[in-house]
Structure 1
Amino acid sequence: MRERVRLTVVALGYALSMVPALVLAILSVVTIALGPLTVGLVFALAVVPATAGVTAGHRWVTGGLLGQRLTATYTDTSETTFLARPLRWLRDPARWRDFAFLWFSATGGFVLAVIPPGLLAAPITYLVWMIVDPRWLWFVLLLLSGPAVYVWWLVTPALVRARAVAERAILGGSRVAELQRRVERVTSSRSSALDHSAAEIRRIERDLHDGAQARIAAVGMSVGLAEKLVEQDPAAAVELLREARATTVSALEDLRAVVRDIHPPVLADRGLVGAVEALALTLPLPVTVSLVLDRPLPDPVESAAYFAIAECLANTIKHADATFARVSGSHDGELLRLVVGDDGKGGADIGGAGLTGVARRLAAFDGTLDVVSPAGGPTTATMEIPCRT
């Protein structure tokens, strides 16, 4: 019952949105007709952004109903002059889809949306009239409208979903366009991943050269000098060998640190869940870990997820002033979804170096990062990586 009432409220919102949709649809037609004139340009500067605002609200509601994210794919006009934008809008397929949506919302979409609240409102209306004006007519109408409640129960989910699917088809764009955007994102992310990999290789070379390599060279020099002193000054030779052993231990620590940055041993030994739990124990604030992974993940995905979580938690410690953090996630066989949140002060900058690195790491696997961090908190970072197992 509660779910159907919720869907009826959504349908009522859809139905009421017919009014601004119809107004904007008529104004859009007037704008197109007056296009060559200055008045048409002025109309466009008001009507098109208003239409985008209406469709943005519908994308949010419909995306929530269908469990999908519907994003607008408008042509970028940020570098276009104010008066030249309407000309760019005329060539933008996404703007024409918005125009088509306005007419759908004012016609067929309105019919689909008005039925559920209408079916539920009829018996309630007749009951109120019977109480206010107790005549036999209202009683008869109330009896006749009784089956409407049963019909409302049956058809509401299907009608609301039909409206939502239709909106997705109009506002979500074509499948070909979506595939083209994905190819562009993958191409860009692969290029960034290659640049990142080259930078990582240079960093590893530098760490090895400045750390382990220098220490191993020092060990060789100490052992060679000890070899010369072993007969003349055995005590000095023993001291040199002792220093060489200490230097060897330091070189091993440097090598372990380099390996840890490439692929943490705990990740190979205990998997992503165990590695994140071990990481949480080392942090200076309480971290709740709730990862549900029923099957092993590919090593590259596991490594990317681990370092992404580690970077998000590092940002929490450095910037959030939080008292606790949480890590949750699941894998449904197709998509790995991870959520890192805290109760800190919020205001996380998605363009900062840390989160930009996380986004770039995930993009190499066609993954996404979404950060919600209002001023005052809390902060929630949601990471999704396509991963079929």
Structure 2
Amino acid sequence: MKDFATKAKGAAIDIKGVSKHYGRFKALDDVDLQIQPGEFMSFLGPSGSGKTTTLNLIAGFTDLTRGEIRLDERSIGNTPAHKRNIGVVFQHYALFPHMTVAKNVAYPLQQRRVPKPAREAAVRETLAKVQLQDFAHRYPSELSGGQQQRVALARAMVFDPSVLLMDEPLGALDKKLREFLQLEIKRIHRELGSTFVYVTHDQEEALVLSDRIAVFNKGKIEQVGTGMELYTKPRTLFVGQFIGESSVLRGAHVEDGGAAVFTINGTPVRAARPAAGEGAHVILLRPETVSVHGAASDAPEGANRLTGTVTEALYLGSGVKYEVTIPGGTVISARMANAERLLTIGEEATVAWQPQDSILLADDGSAAQM
């Protein structure tokens, strides 16, 4: 795991057995999570999974039902939000329309009774960090959406918080601007050394920004890890499908000499290792590990092979994307860097992959049935 000890400004966050109930509804159910000082942690998951609830509990906007949250070993469950020294950036900016950019950014310092000379110096320095030093005298209505979001970021960090929380701050922006601001946020995090906690439902955004990602589902955390760990070694079928593109194969499953063998439409396919735990299992495939061939004889030696029909064929310049539907209706996706020719829709094809590329997971029912 990455060492964040050199980023002394950031605070450690320790979430222990935290739950939040609204009547009988469990928005958050017994969550544990440790965030290191100076780490960039993203909360990723579908709507209603508990990620924003967790952020609001850290910020102090919502009361705990059960459990404890500690900030640098100090319990903050009973500490009012304005005394937690935490910066927050919202999706909809929440800027004061009657104030200039400089006054918006200065507002947290005024509330803390920072003397005017120090306040003005901090505003200048912070606006320079978000590259808005020339916009200090403009009003929010005179700025683009991206500029307004950078003002909101500057206001959240001007008082030098140990923790900065962001709740889908780029959700209202177009793709190109989002990508630009992702890099800006990453740069600012490196410069500040504060602990960043970022809520998003966009997996690509989480992969670009984060040191680690906590994947939420139905009020619980399914897995915490780096983007690479979550993609290559998912612990659950939900994580495997939520992070990146994948195909899921179900079939009759047996163990054979330390390997797992599935019979799919009468054809045996193998995984390189036995299944962990008892119960039904599935094979999850990443598209870049799958190749598509017009003839079975063209498939690599030792590969698993299934036949089907090409139902999508896209030339992407840098490669080819295929979708092949096998008997029973399962669709297998493939991305190939090179192809001698583009197979056509309706053509019979063979999909192939090596046994070590079969990710074996417990069948939790989160994928569509074959």
From the two aligned structures, give the one with the greater strand fraction. Answer: 2
Normalised by the shorter chain, which TM-score bucket? Answer: under 0.3
TM-score, normalization by structure 1:
0.25
| Larger RCO of the pair (alpha carbons < 8 Å, separation 6+) | 2
TM-score, normalization by structure 2:
0.26
**Higher CA-based Rg:** 1
From the two aligned structures, give the one with the greater helix fraction. Answer: 1
